[in-house]
Amino acid sequence: MDSLTEENYIKSIYALSLATGEVFVSELAKKLNIKQPSVNSMMKRLATKKVVAYAPYKGIRLTEKGKKEALSIIRRHRLAELFLVKVMELGWEEVHDIAEQLEHVDSKRFYSRMDEMLNFPKFDPHGEPIPDSNGKIYTQKRTALSDLVEGLTATIAAVGEDEKSFLDHLNAKGLQIGDTVTLKKRELFDGSVTLQHKSKKEILLTHQVAERIWVE
Amino acid sequence: MDSLTEENYIKSIYALSLATGEVFVSELAKKLNIKQPSVNSMMKRLATKKVVAYAPYKGIRLTEKGKKEALSIIRRHRLAELFLVKVMELGWEEVHDIAEQLEHVDSKRFYSRMDEMLNFPKFDPHGEPIPDSNGKIYTQKRTALSDLVEGLTATIAAVGEDEKSFLDHLNAKGLQIGDTVTLKKRELFDGSVTLQHKSKKEILLTHQVAERIWVE
DNA sequence: TTAAAAAGTTAGACTATTCTAACAAATTAA
DNA sequence: TTAATTTGTTAGAATAGTCTAACTTTTTAA
Ligand SMILES: [Mn+2]
Ligand SMILES: [Mn+2]
Ligand SMILES: [Mn+2]
Ligand SMILES: [Mn+2]
């Protein structure tokens, strides 16, 4: 079994390698807020455990075993987040930090009961897909709200971040998963967008925020 | 803040010192399944943190601060166990191991929501009192089923152990918290007892089992 | 194609936990 | 009240994680 620390490394490697399949020591170090030499020695350890493929000066990539483990951790994290929102009625902005801890709980029963109580859900409270128990995960290219064509209407499907500060911001703007928005105007100068919201209100979002909202 | 390891020491010290107020290095070592020198060095550390009062060759005792921390951990453990049984519908025999992990989750919200959902419960699934958020805990002398006078009828209030193997045994015997039993006969030879159960069945328990069941 | 700059490694050190071996104090038994 | 036996402590070592300092390789820019 992996330690909590190892699980966190694996999860981060998975997230960072989604785009290109590989990650660099420097990226991992920044993401985990630790120094490069620490990452370097952990990679040697994970390589010994056959979780990553790693050769000096080359990028890091998860092995099939490593991917399986990553998806299992992500499954637990997202299932926990949804449970906290649906069953325990916490806000979508306060569940990530708790799920960071619950994802390391070692108990098949705990998670299978969550899964049952939530009726085998497919998405977490932030719209992210929940891998199934075999590690299969729903994926499809998504459109960022910042790239939506002017004049078009779309539905908010997911948010690309679940940090409290970002979600507090969306709460303040009155935006939620499932909301329908129409892109009224995109400023050429700074990429900020003005939305027409179902609430009839016009909402202004900076590019930084709009690019973290996925629509379909 | 205390580490998970420190929390486990504190909880064990509390449990072992209930009777006399103090614990010995050897007892703690046995309970935690670690060697005496490890306990010794941890006691030095906890003494520095003012969690225990400790002098070489003298017993260990929790300070007021240590007791508060112990009760807070026990509260989280028991709240979690009850939540797992009442909300997640797990069996009383399978919740202890999960609660051992959940008790270390650092989140006021998580526990206050459990408390609310359970309507501020006073007892856990094993009949043990749940300390309130100020650390107050209900206590009263209890009678062991093994000490019940022959012929008397009583109600099972709690079980003194929540290990799966013990609870599986009670499940097999058909005994639960709240059940009314009459002590039909106590064998002088081995202290085993025969009960008349509400289910009309007669149940035979060894002394070892009967002394771990509290009645009132 | 050199010279910076960036990225990655090694070496050595430190904290948290725990262990074994060896020694000391306290308790128990003869 | 000696001699065992039990309990507790010290010393020294090991593993998991991390860090800083000092290189080494790669990459980027000039
Ligand atoms: Mn999350
Ligand atoms: Mn999420
Ligand atoms: Mn328990
Ligand atoms: Mn219990």
B46-73 pLDDT per residue, tens: 999 999 999 999 999 999 999 999 999 9
pLDDT tier for residue B198 given thresholds of 50, 70 and 90:
confident
Which ligand is closest to the CA of B159, given by its number? 4
Checking each nucleotide's C1' against the CA of B54, the nearest proves to be: D8
Sequence-ordered strand ranges (E) for chain A: 52-54, 60-62, 143-144, 153-159, 180-186, 193-197, 202-205, 213-215
Cβ of B5 less than 7 A from strand C: yes
* DSSP element (H, E) containing B86: helix B64-86
User: CB atoms < 10 A from the CB of A8, how many?
Assistant: 18
In angstroms, the Cα distances linking A179 to A60, A146, A152, A208 are 38, 16, 14, 19
DSSP state of B99: H
Report the first-to-last Cα separation within chain B, whole angstroms: 39
Query: φ, ψ for residue A186 (rounded to 5)?
Result: -120, 125
In angstroms, the Cα distances linking B55 to A16, A157, B58, B60 are 51, 61, 5, 8
3-class DSSP assignment, residue A92? coil
Which residue is closest to A105 within chain B, CA to CA?
Answer: B101
* DSSP element (H, E) containing A76: helix A64-86
pLDDT tier for residue B201 given thresholds of 50, 70 and 90:
confident
Structural domains of chain A, ranges and CATH numbers in brackets: 4-62 (1.10.10.10), 75-140 (1.10.10.10), 143-215 (2.30.30.90)
pLDDT value of residue B179: 95
Judge: A110–B89 Cβ closer than 8 Å, yes or no.
no
CB-side exposure of B103: number of CA atoms within 13 Å?
29
Residues in chain A: 216
pLDDT value of residue A198: 82
Return per-residue pLDDT of chain A as tens, 216 residues. Answer: 899 999 999 999 999 999 899 999 999 999 999 999 999 999 999 999 999 999 999 999 999 999 999 999 999 999 999 999 999 999 999 999 999 999 999 999 999 999 999 999 999 999 999 999 999 999 888 899 999 999 999 999 999 998 999 999 999 999 999 999 999 999 999 999 999 998 788 999 999 999 999 999
pLDDT value of residue A200: 80
Structure tokens, B92: 């009383």
pLDDT value of residue B1: 85
pLDDT of B4 above 90:
yes
Cβ-Cβ contacts under 8 Å, A101 against chain B:
104-107
Judge: B88–A110 Cβ closer than 8 Å, yes or no.
yes
pLDDT value of residue A94: 97
Judge: B105–A101 Cβ closer than 8 Å, yes or no.
yes
Percent of chain B with pLDDT over 90: 93
Strands A193-197 and A202-205: antiparallel
CA dihedral A188, A192, A198, A199 (to 10 degrees): -130
pLDDT of B199 above 90:
no
pLDDT tier for residue B141 given thresholds of 50, 70 and 90:
confident
CB A183 within 8 A of CB A151: yes
pLDDT of B44 above 90:
yes
CB A99 within 8 A of CB A81: yes
Q: For residues A50 and A130, what is the distance between their CA atoms, to the nearest angstrom?
A: 25
Residue whose pair of structure tokens reads 């952990």 in the numeric block: A42
Judge: A105–B110 Cβ closer than 8 Å, yes or no.
no
User: CB atoms < 10 A from the CB of A107, how many?
Assistant: 18
Summary mean pLDDT of chain B: 95
Contacts of B25 (CB under 8 A, 6+ apart): B36, B39, B40, B43, B60
Which bases of chain C are under 7 A from a protein CB atom? 6-12, 16-22, 25-26
Judge: B90–A97 Cβ closer than 8 Å, yes or no.
no
Kindly give the distance from the C-alpha atom of residue B86 to the centroid of ligand 4, in angstroms, as a whole number. 13
Structure tokens, A129: 């897909």
3-class DSSP assignment, residue A172? helix
Residue whose pair of structure tokens reads 């910042």 in the numeric block: A146
* DSSP element (H, E) containing B158: strand B153-159
Residue type, A98: I
Cβ-Cβ contacts under 8 Å, A84 against chain B:
110
CA dihedral A142, A148, A151, A155 (to 10 degrees): 30
Model pLDDT for residues A161-191, shown as the tens digit of each residue? 989 999 999 999 999 999 999 999 999 999 9
**pTM summary value:** 0.95
Model pLDDT for residues A140-164, shown as the tens digit of each residue? 888 999 999 999 999 999 999 989 9
Report the first-to-last Cα separation within chain A, whole angstroms: 39
pLDDT value of residue A7: 98
Which residue is closest to A94 within chain B, CA to CA?
Answer: B109
Query: Using only C-alpha atoms, what is the Rg of chain A?
Result: 19
Chain B residues with CB within 8 Å of chain A CB: 84, 87-90, 94, 97-98, 101-102, 104-107, 109-110, 113-114, 117
pLDDT tier for residue B153 given thresholds of 50, 70 and 90:
very high
Model pLDDT for residues B91-129, shown as the tens digit of each residue? 999 999 999 999 999 999 999 999 999 999 999 999 999
Residues in chain B: 216
CB A63 within 8 A of CB A52: yes
pLDDT tier for residue B90 given thresholds of 50, 70 and 90:
very high
pLDDT value of residue A212: 96
